[in-house]
Amino acid sequence: MNILGIVVEYNPFHYGHLYHLQASVKKTNADLTIAVMSGSFLQRGEPALTDKWSRTKMALLAGVDLVIELPYIYAVQKAEIFSDGAISLLDHLGVTHLCFGSEAGNIDAFITTVEEVATREAELDEQIQAELKRGCSYPKAFSTAYRTIFQQKNVLDLGKPNNILGYHYVKALRKRRSSIKPFTVTREQAGYHETALKNEKIASATAIRRQLIENGKPLTAMINYLPPSTFQQLANHRQRTGSFLHWELYFPYIQYRFLTSDIEHIQRIYECEEGLEYRLKKLITDAASFQELMKKVKSKRYTWTRIQRLFVHLLLNTTETFMKEHCRPLHPPYIRLLGMSPAGRAYLSVKKKELIIPLVTRVSEYDHPALQKDTAAAQIHGLPLQPAALPSEEYKAFPVQLETAD
Amino acid sequence: MNILGIVVEYNPFHYGHLYHLQASVKKTNADLTIAVMSGSFLQRGEPALTDKWSRTKMALLAGVDLVIELPYIYAVQKAEIFSDGAISLLDHLGVTHLCFGSEAGNIDAFITTVEEVATREAELDEQIQAELKRGCSYPKAFSTAYRTIFQQKNVLDLGKPNNILGYHYVKALRKRRSSIKPFTVTREQAGYHETALKNEKIASATAIRRQLIENGKPLTAMINYLPPSTFQQLANHRQRTGSFLHWELYFPYIQYRFLTSDIEHIQRIYECEEGLEYRLKKLITDAASFQELMKKVKSKRYTWTRIQRLFVHLLLNTTETFMKEHCRPLHPPYIRLLGMSPAGRAYLSVKKKELIIPLVTRVSEYDHPALQKDTAAAQIHGLPLQPAALPSEEYKAFPVQLETAD
């Protein structure tokens, strides 16, 4: 039985995702597909457009059989931790094949690069540290160091966002000595960071979000870019809650965090390093919006995503201590099931007997600090919405179940 | 020179307040009027309808000469601390006459009662403790104990809210051995807790707020009940910010507080006593609104205002330790000037040389934890409003100045 594992965010699910899903199933001849999906907050430090249940439905309706939540402790992290966490979960679930989208589109390039980096790791680390000392961000330091060391070889372009993730997936497989076989499909058409809409059917999630939020486009204007299931889920969400979620809606909570926390507390927040707390405290009083704040905080040293992730940790009040204690991405504490198709349910009913970590179908049934954090994250994610009662949904929710195979 | 002191909240200023102000000036033959006014949050644990600057203008336009902020550490407190703080500020400012509204309307009743209670304080305390042990609230215990002890005498009815405040004002004067002479005027027509509108011009502030917020009445529907200056200030506020402030707008922040604080932290909040934190944590997840939450928390032991005040402390993240350290109402740490008429300014320019505590005209010029709290309170008070930039106003604000005497 070929079991395909994929790592997704689906914010929202679009035709590019559909293409990737179908191409991956075909390439790996998969009998079943398991997706690990970020929950309420995403890898780049952004709130998801809708709650995770809508996004789970989008995935199931597109043909995914099991949707597993990537816990916040792994999801809102740099590529390495994100990847380690996601791959660990897929490994525990018995996945046999992994398939990811990449700019390179050639799996050998990933495998070779991971091997080569492994043999010259000390050298690379040294180079990275040297770059960091020159005041640049970690991703920039990594890619410069990498290019310096491997300049003669025809290796992977690690300046590209999907190549970086792919590299870390393959590296994670190696770390775990996993038997999962990796594949990649070329990412088609819309680039990851593409923000403008083109005339093709495939638009990036970034472009779709920008149209809906910043440009205030009605959902109907986006109908050609959204698979019917996504359109339906987004329409339901908007009708039920009145708004899609984006950073500006959390800006008052970030202000509130600073207004009610002393500087010593802010210092203890995860990733709040090097005196950043003083700079933030000063800037936050004058910024009229989250965007304005971001532009003021952004510097050569801190990437946009690094700062956005810090704001997620501030919003969720996550301390360095908490992360140190609970974030061990090679050893996930639980498997949180968000949704399943009939085939997914059948698979799980057999597989669960072999699982060595708890399978959580309802948060009230399992007690773990990281799971409580996921729950709090979902509740905080829902705070800007009306009705305000939304937060309690998270406690009661069962996984989404597709009643019929599609 | 007769200098009248009054203690006000003006939420909003209405014809009842105007009557009280004019009657007080007449009764005390005052040359100047100084009002101590609660800031962003009020004695009964409610957010003010508008910011304190609008309310300061209402006061000045009605004839008050100096408006001084009653710091949050005294304002959001039971009658005794509230009164001690207010009277102390008036005393420092050289007030010669105090005049308050009361149901009794007879100052001798207050003076006699305060004297009699003082001579039988131990006995009263014992009786209060006995009542408290029977599970009732403090105000109820006090008034029952008081009636039990003084049943034979024709004393003050301390079941009435304005009589209670008046009693504490007079008691505070006694404690301070103040030379301020107390007066009272009978509260006319609209009762303190009156919520329905009557046909008379005088409506209680509670009734006005209810019409504007719960019943969603347009401001114009209230024009007969609002002095022109109040109408103008309320209209300005609504136009600028889109909304009047009320508890429901802070409900998400209360939810957020619980979602990001562990129970040990909640326990340390001022007035969160006797396991209330567990009850609150449980109830808050299920309540769909602040009103629903209040109804669930309310019990025989805790009055509505007691719980509302606790929610203000939770909202402002004020710990027991903080209050213990800074709340000494007989020794206010500063005099925060909110507004002045030309006569008020002239008075202050002479008086300030004698002041033994700092006169603060702009918060950026003086550093004190209680003042920082007032500033944070004002900023948090403004968080639900658009534009979100409002909070920084508080740092920059100068006192309101009336350019011409009215």
Supply the DSSP string of A211-244, one letter for each residue: HHTTS---GGGGGGGS-HHHHHHHHHHHHHHSS-
Best to test chain B binding among A246, A259, A282, A293 (most B CBs inside 10 Å)? A259
Inspect the interface and report whether the beta carbons of B286 and A392 lie closer than 8 Å: yes
State residue B389's pLDDT score.
44
pLDDT band at B285 (very low <50, low <70, confident <90, very high): confident
Between residues B197 and B5, the one the model is more confident about: B5
Answer yes or no: do B392 and A285 touch at CB < 8 A: yes
The answer, yes or no, to whether residue B253 has pLDDT greater than 80, is yes
Section A230-250 average pLDDT: 91
Interface test with B, best of A253, A260, A374 (most B CBs within 10 A): A260
Q: pLDDT-based confidence at A395, cuts 50/70/90?
A: low
* pLDDT-wise least confident of A90-104, A146-160, B96-110: A146-160
Contacts of A241 (CB under 8 A, 6+ apart): A385, A386, A390
CA neighbours closer than 13 Å in the CB half-sphere of residue A293: 25
With cut-offs at 50, 70 and 90, classify the pLDDT of residue A400: confident
Q: pLDDT-based confidence at A301, cuts 50/70/90? A: confident
* Chain B CB within 8 Å of residue A285 CB: yes
Assess contact for B68 and B374: CB atoms under 8 A.
no
Write phi, then psi, for A5 (nearest 5 degrees): -110, 135
Here the ipTM equals: 0.90
Mean pLDDT confidence for B9-24: 94
- Does A391 have pLDDT greater than 70? no
Indicate yes or no: CB of A379 within 8 angstroms of CB of B259: yes
For the stretch A74-114, pLDDT in tens is 999 999 999 999 999 999 999 999 999 999 999 999 999 99
Q: Where does A3-103+185-245+330-401 sit in CATH, by number? A: 3.40.50
For A49, residues 6+ apart whose C-beta sits below 8 A from its C-beta are: A11, A12, A209, A212, A213, A234, A244, A245, A246
CA distance B10 to A403: 60
What is the structure's pLDDT at B154?
Answer: 61
Going from N- to C-terminal start, the domains of chain B cover 3-103+185-245+330-401, 248-325
- Cα first-last separation, chain B: 19
- The Cα B184–Cα B104 span in angstroms is 8
* Residue A153: predicted pLDDT: 66
Q: Residue B302 pLDDT more than 90? A: no
Contacts of A251 in chain B (CB under 8 A): 388
Taking the Cβ of residue A369 and every Cβ of chain B, the question of whether any pair is shorter than 8 Å is answered with no
Q: Is A321 on the interface with B (CB under 8 A)?
A: no
Confidence category of residue B405, pLDDT binned at 50, 70, 90:
very low
Q: Tell me how far apart the alpha carbons of residues A103 and B137 are, in angstroms, rounded to a whole number.
A: 69
Q: Which residue has the higher pLDDT, B3 or B213?
A: B3
Task: Specify whether the backbone of A189 is left (phi greater than 0), alpha (psi in -120 to 50) or beta.
Answer: left
Average pLDDT over residues B203-232: 88
**What is the average pLDDT across B186-207?**
67
Q: Is the pLDDT of residue B5 over 60?
A: yes
Helix axes B79-92, B161-175, angle to 10 degrees: 50
Q: How many cross-chain Cβ pairs, A to B, lie less than 8 Å apart?
A: 64
User: What pLDDT sits at residue B26?
Assistant: 97
pLDDT digits (tens, 9 = 90+) for A320-373: 999 999 999 999 999 999 999 999 999 999 999 999 999 999 988 899 999 999
Instruction: Quote the distance between the C-alpha of residue B168 and its chain's center.
Output: 13
Residues of chain A found within 8 Å of residue B376, distances taken between Cβ atoms: 259-260
* Dist CA A374 CA A354 (whole Å): 25
- Which amino acid is present at B252? P
| φ, ψ (nearest 5 deg) of residue B38 | -60, 150
**Which among A283, A343, A271 has a CA at the least distance from the CA of A307?**
A271
CA angle A301, A305, A310 (to 5 degrees): 85
Please tell me the predicted confidence (pLDDT) of residue A84.
98
pLDDT at A389 over 80: no
pLDDT score recorded for residue B406: 44
- Residue A230: the pLDDT is 93
Instruction: Indicate the range of A189-193, B94-98, B280-284, B341-345 predicted with least confidence.
Output: A189-193
Q: Which residue of A has its CA nearest to B254?
A: A383
Instruction: For residues A198 and A188, give the distance between their C-alpha atoms in angstroms, rounded to a whole number.
Output: 13
Q: What percent of chain A has pLDDT over 90?
A: 68
Quick check: A380 and B256 CB within 8 A? yes
B254, B290 contact by CB (below 8 A) = yes
Task: Give the distance from CA B359 to its chain's centroid.
Answer: 20
Start-end of H helices in A62-184: 72-75, 79-92, 107-119, 121-133, 138-149, 161-176
Q: Specify the pLDDT at position A405.
A: 45
Q: How confident is residue A296, by pLDDT bands cut at 50, 70 and 90?
A: very high
Q: Which of A288, A380, A389 sits opposite B288 (nearest CB)?
A: A389
Q: Which of residues 200-239 of A touch B (CB under 8 A)?
A: none
| pLDDT higher than 60, residue B194 | no
Confidence of residue A387 (pLDDT cuts 50, 70, 90): low
Do residues A90 and A76 lie in contact, with contact meaning Cβ atoms separated by under 8 Å?
no
Is B216 labelled a binding residue? no
Mean residue pLDDT across chain B: 90
pLDDT at B387: 62
Any known ligand binding at B93? no
Q: Which residue has the higher pLDDT, A123 or A7?
A: A7
A241 contacts chain B (CB < 8 A) = no
Joined tokens for residue A67: 């949707």
Q: Residue B344 carries which side chain, given as an amino acid letter?
A: G
Average pLDDT of the segment spanning A224-248: 91
Q: CB of A225 within 8 A of CB of A14?
A: yes
Beta-strand relationship, B335-340 and B359-360? parallel
